[in-house]
Amino acid sequence: MTRELSALQKARLSYQPKLPKVLKNGIRGLSVEFGGPTESVADADDIKEIFPNSYGKPIATFKTGSTDISNEPVNVGVILSGGQAPGGHNVIAGIFDSLKNANQNNRLYGFLGGPSGIINGKYQEITADFLAEYRNTGGFDIIGSGRTKLETEDQFKDTWNNCQNLNISAIVVIGGDDSNTNAAMLAEYFLSKNTGIKVIGVPKTIDGDLKNEQIEISFGFDTATKTYSELIGNIERDANSAKKYWHFIKLMGRSASHVTIECALQTHPNITLISEEVAINKTSLAEVVNYMTDIIVKRSHEGKNFGVAVIPEGLIEFIPEMKSMISNLNDTLALIEDDADYVKLCNQEDKFKYIESKLEKQNAEIFASLPKSIQAQLLADRDPHGNVQVSKIETEKLLIEMIQAKLVEMKAAGEYKGKFAAQPHFFGYEGRCAAPSNFDADYCYSLGYNAFALAHFGLSGYISSVRNLTKPADEWIAGGVPLTMMMNMEKRHGALKPVIQKALVELDGPVFEYLKKNREKWALEDHYIFTGPIQYYGPPEIADVTTKTIQLERT
Amino acid sequence: MTRELSALQKARLSYQPKLPKVLKNGIRGLSVEFGGPTESVADADDIKEIFPNSYGKPIATFKTGSTDISNEPVNVGVILSGGQAPGGHNVIAGIFDSLKNANQNNRLYGFLGGPSGIINGKYQEITADFLAEYRNTGGFDIIGSGRTKLETEDQFKDTWNNCQNLNISAIVVIGGDDSNTNAAMLAEYFLSKNTGIKVIGVPKTIDGDLKNEQIEISFGFDTATKTYSELIGNIERDANSAKKYWHFIKLMGRSASHVTIECALQTHPNITLISEEVAINKTSLAEVVNYMTDIIVKRSHEGKNFGVAVIPEGLIEFIPEMKSMISNLNDTLALIEDDADYVKLCNQEDKFKYIESKLEKQNAEIFASLPKSIQAQLLADRDPHGNVQVSKIETEKLLIEMIQAKLVEMKAAGEYKGKFAAQPHFFGYEGRCAAPSNFDADYCYSLGYNAFALAHFGLSGYISSVRNLTKPADEWIAGGVPLTMMMNMEKRHGALKPVIQKALVELDGPVFEYLKKNREKWALEDHYIFTGPIQYYGPPEIADVTTKTIQLERT
């Protein structure tokens, strides 16, 4: 079936992504320069022991030059791993154009549905025609993605078999920190078996938590945060026009608050919560509520019964006392489920009281402080093991209800005379598959083009690295960083494992500093910024500039 | 305080909106042509009786020419009425540039906070500098809006006084159908008192329900639907990539489904519900659930446990049996509130059962068919008069829960083997204050420019009309339509009132026909279209084209 396309879709298909100058010469015009041996960010001995064949490799940087590397036809495999991020299709387009540039007879195979595709040998050859309708588009629908972890010996064996069947000599893994950790393990496995199969990783995730000295940002972060900022700005303008509502906007990002802080820097909301700050300060839920209520009350004194608050999805999980209450609650529920005294209670309130009586004092207080609706939700939404699912808690609504309750008290006490009406929002799916901004389209295409180049030069266990991103694409630096360099040992399910270190928001970094310096002003005065929708045309400062986060971190 | 602006905000401030050719010559280069006397759409005699001085005026069309109309300095007042719509600021910019073009000494006063501003004499003069930072921006924050109805004799008197104080000879009312009805009444009042004050209306509302033969569309509809369609398309791409979720997307628009059907035509979701169709067919809630479930099951048979459904905000209120159940429930609750047998029930389920026993049979069945959470919500969310607030029902979640329940039954009966996981969304505030698209920026500016021209030519009780909108702005036709022509008599709070007829989705019109012809195909195959974000730059087919609705209705 021929698919109907919007005018913009048609136009974007023919967009030619920008490449770093060095890659414009094509594969034959490249030479590679190596730095000295590298060390892992921590736990060097353990990492070295686990990665005897791939540890400590030097950083590689491409230069204009020429190479006498054999140009025999090769086949390359690619997989998309984990959640969608804008630009994934362009990484594949970059790999394709790069390998065809090296040799028209080179072939690219896309494994279907993520890592399980390479384990089960489910694939589809990516041809020029097939690829044509995916260039510069959002989504991962070209070959699909999946969350299977590629980590066991058996999986590696199957992967090896399937590569042999297709005569594949290089695999590109497009994924987040875990997927790249697995890529490193697969690379080590292939080296240990002298398979000659290279493994290259590509940094993907809208969460922006896969970055470090060498990786300035993961792809998709730019487009996703610009899409959310468009919406936040529109809502700010609405709040400032209607002057009637407080909008509580939860933003995707469970394990780090990069998305929330980037959007805050782009739109200047009245309240910005950052999970990492809450965790470090051991902030209690009551303190979070007080902080927000204080701003709401101060604004109401100036006749402003409206505002905008942005909240990271993972907030609750970063509040220490909530963690402890939840685990205590899980144990307690397991105990009293068959307790006749509990079961016979017909009234929910009585159930809550009974549970409180069984919880440790401090946890009982926290539980009691929660709105009834959330208490009910905690008892209702249990996972198959009967555990409360903290991730199911609708943080934005929890905060609204607790603030509401507090304001009622304050009104009774004559400390508050304002009106409080709130609208909850959650933005996540709206941005994960947006068509990539020019920046992500260019960056992803370059990462893919560069990924094949690394494999072509025989490198394995590297992540594709394109740097100097605050400059025009022409000046970007292309090369590779050994995956082991980004690793350390962390506890996972009780056992120490080698993993790529997640980048959390640094509370002493320039991005958080900027928020800290301005948030009081943004809270009371209105400094809303309306970024508007992503523009693909127009002057570079509108169409090509990337995030505030990179600009603050890299300039 | 000098406000920080995004790059796009800065660029848009200097965008010069396009005008119809005829208006480009300026006010002195205009002549006006009149058609024959007009009749109201219905109830001519009643309308004529209520509007003796303004009834039956001819349609006015501007032509290139010249006028000997006095060019003495005049003052004009403007008010924004009701909910925000993208482009309101440009209407004001159009009025300003138009009146300054007529005479540099003309002045524009903006009344603050909507109709109440003109009643209480709260205003602010709109100067070139003040206006400069609002050109081509979204929101109504320039002078604010309000929902006060301007309809009583006393309010008219106060308005007259405030106009005299500022020596205002024309008022422009920017609002929806009700606000323009009030504008017509104010115009009639001013004529009956020989005040010489002209009143001109401007058609505003993102709902798109203020349109007719002469008004092709209200402003804001284009930008809002493009913004929602961007998000729906992104979510479709996500659904099609993750293949994991059904997304239920509720769209703003309580009284008509124009927004939903326009977005459906732009994005081709799998399911589109239209309130007007549900009302005509007297569709029951169960039938709506069955219709959706049927599509979900059919898709799951093809291994597609994902999809996208769009739902108009007002759906529930259009389901006849729900209306009757709600009113029966209101009466019943009023009766049993102090009923000891009811009050003593400690268990919610028992309360529900008791209420069912008191409802009329058919209504009891409907109530019983609702998910517990919705039953609880119905009893909890009551308005000050103790009435259940149907508008508070979260339609998208109601449908998800009922479908979930049905699928569980079908699974048990072996009729369904799929997985159903759903994500609810509600889009409204995200689009009401978006920066106007080029179309809305041009259209609104033209409406404003044209509104002053109408007053300048001595017309009153007219609505600013810019037509031929599917053609380039150059070919747009500018003029005025007598407000009485758009009116009929309708029951409001028990009494017959003259009102501008609301435009509902016409089930025999080309827009609905298009949906009907395609929806089955869209339901099972995937014809998702990804419109992407509004573009302000680039080729006209991307940056300037307006909605499918207008294109189907006018070409």
Give Rg (Cα) of chain B: 26
How far apart, in whole angstroms, are the C-alpha atoms of residue B516 and residue B514?
A: 5
Query: Which is nearest to B78 in space by CA: B87, B67, B91, B66?
Result: B91
pLDDT tens for B208-221 read: 999 998 899 999 99
Helices (H) and strands (E) in chain B, counts: 24, 16
CATH topology of domain A22-220+436-492: Rossmann fold (3.40.50)
Contact B235 A532 (CB under 8 A): no
Alpha helices by DSSP H, A361-437: 361-369, 372-380, 395-412, 429-432
| Chain B contact set for A231 (CB, 8 A) | 231, 430
**How far B47 CA sits from the closest chain A CA (Å)?**
34
**How confident is the model over A387-416, as a mean pLDDT?**
91
pLDDT, residue B39, reads 97
Mean pLDDT across chain A? 95
pLDDT for residue A513 is more than 70: yes
The residue type at B302: E
Contact A430 B231 (CB under 8 A): yes
- Is B529 in CB contact (< 8 Å) with chain A? yes
How far apart, in whole angstroms, are the C-alpha atoms of residue A163 and residue A93?
A: 21
Least confident of A48-57, A192-201, A378-387, B141-150: A378-387
Distance of CA B135 to the CA centre of its chain: 22
Query: Which is nearest to A532 in space by CA: A272, A267, A242?
Result: A267
pLDDT tens for B213-242 read: 889 999 999 999 999 999 999 999 999 999
Contacts of A489 (CB under 8 A, 6+ apart): A42, A43, A46, A47, A496, A497, A498, A499
CA angle (B166, B170, B173) in 5-degree steps: 105
The residue type at A82: G
CA distances from A339 to A301, A377, B69 (A): 50, 20, 90
pLDDT for residue A69 is more than 90: no
How far apart, in whole angstroms, are the C-alpha atoms of residue A502 and residue A491?
A: 13
What ipTM describes this predicted complex?
A: 0.96
Q: A348-358 and A372-380 helices cross at what angle (nearest 10)?
A: 80
- Tell me how long chain A is: 555
Contact A533 B535 (CB under 8 A): yes
Confidence band, pLDDT 50/70/90 cuts, at residue B71: confident
**How far B538 CA sits from the closest chain A CA (Å)?**
6
pLDDT for residue B102 is more than 80: yes
**How far B1 CA sits from the closest chain A CA (Å)?**
9
- Is B144 in CB contact (< 8 Å) with chain A? yes
How far apart, in whole angstroms, are the C-alpha atoms of residue A429 and residue B50?
A: 52
How far apart, in whole angstroms, are the C-alpha atoms of residue B541 and residue A457?
A: 45
pLDDT, residue A2, reads 58
Encoding tokens for residue B2? 């000098």
CA angle (B500, B506, B512) in 5-degree steps: 145
CA distances from A428 to A224, A311, A434, B137, B231 (A): 8, 12, 11, 26, 11
- Is A14 in CB contact (< 8 Å) with chain B? no
pLDDT, residue A543, reads 96
pLDDT, residue A266, reads 98
A207 catalytic residue (yes or no): yes
pLDDT, residue A213, reads 86
CATH class of A224-319+384-431+509-553: alpha beta
Contact A537 B535 (CB under 8 A): yes
Query: Which is nearest to B313 in space by CA: B233, B469, B428?
Result: B428
Of the candidates B177, B207, B442, B526, the residue annotated as catalytic is B207
| Chain B contact set for A404 (CB, 8 A) | none
How far apart, in whole angstroms, are the C-alpha atoms of residue B102 and residue A382?
A: 70
Contacts of A35 (CB under 8 A, 6+ apart): A58, A59, A60, A61
Query: Which is nearest to B523 in space by CA: B233, B235, B272?
Result: B272
pLDDT tens for A84-141 read: 999 999 999 999 999 999 999 999 999 999 999 999 999 999 999 999 999 999 999 9
Contact A433 B4 (CB under 8 A): no
Q: What is the DSSP letter of B390?
A: G
Buried b (16+ CB within 10 A) or exposed e, A342-375: beebeeeeebbeebbebbeeebbebbebbbeebb
**How confident is the model over A30-43, as a mean pLDDT?**
96
Instruction: Report the percentage of chain B scoring pLDDT > 70.
Output: 99
| Chain B contact set for A92 (CB, 8 A) | none
**Nearest-by-CA chain A residue for B534:** A533
| Chain A contact set for B373 (CB, 8 A) | none
**Nearest-by-CA chain A residue for B12:** A532
How far apart, in whole angstroms, are the C-alpha atoms of residue B378 and residue B367?
A: 10
Task: Identify from A5, A81, A137, A141 which residue to disrupt to test chain B contact, counting B C-beta atoms within 10 A and taking the largest count.
Answer: A141
pLDDT tens for A354-377 read: 999 999 999 999 999 998 888 888
Contact A8 B234 (CB under 8 A): no
Of the candidates A177, A207, A440, A442, the residue annotated as catalytic is A207
pLDDT, residue A297, reads 98
Phi, psi torsion values for A50, nearest 5 degrees: -80, -25
Confidence band, pLDDT 50/70/90 cuts, at residue A413: very high
pTM: 0.96
**Nearest-by-CA chain A residue for B344:** A347
Q: What is the DSSP letter of B111?
A: E
| Chain B contact set for A521 (CB, 8 A) | none
Q: Count Cα neighbours of B542 within 13 Å in the Cβ-side half-sphere.
A: 22
Asked if A274 and A260 count as a contact pair (C-beta separation under 8 A), the reply is yes
Contacts of B316 (CB under 8 A, 6+ apart): B285, B322, B390, B393, B395, B398
Confidence band, pLDDT 50/70/90 cuts, at residue B342: confident
pLDDT, residue A1, reads 45
pLDDT, residue B1, reads 45
The more confident residue out of A144 and A392 is: A144
pLDDT, residue A82, reads 95
Of B137, B243, B433, the CB nearest to A238: B433
**How confident is the model over B68-93, as a mean pLDDT?**
95
> Range(s) for CATH 3.40.50.450 in chain B?
22-220+436-492
pLDDT, residue A351, reads 87
Buried b (16+ CB within 10 A) or exposed e, B155-189: bbebbbebbeebebbbbbbbbbbbbbbbbbbbbbb
3-state class percentages of chain A: helix first, strand second, coil last, to nearest 5: 45, 15, 35
pLDDT, residue A261, reads 98
pLDDT tens for B363-388 read: 999 999 998 888 888 887 677 777 77
> Range(s) for CATH 3.40.50.460 in chain A?
224-319+384-431+509-553
pLDDT, residue A104, reads 97
How far apart, in whole angstroms, are the C-alpha atoms of residue A152 and residue A182?
A: 9
Contact B234 A433 (CB under 8 A): yes
What burial class does residue A14 get, using C-beta atoms within 10 Å of its C-beta: 0-12 exposed, 13-18 middle, 19+ buried?
exposed
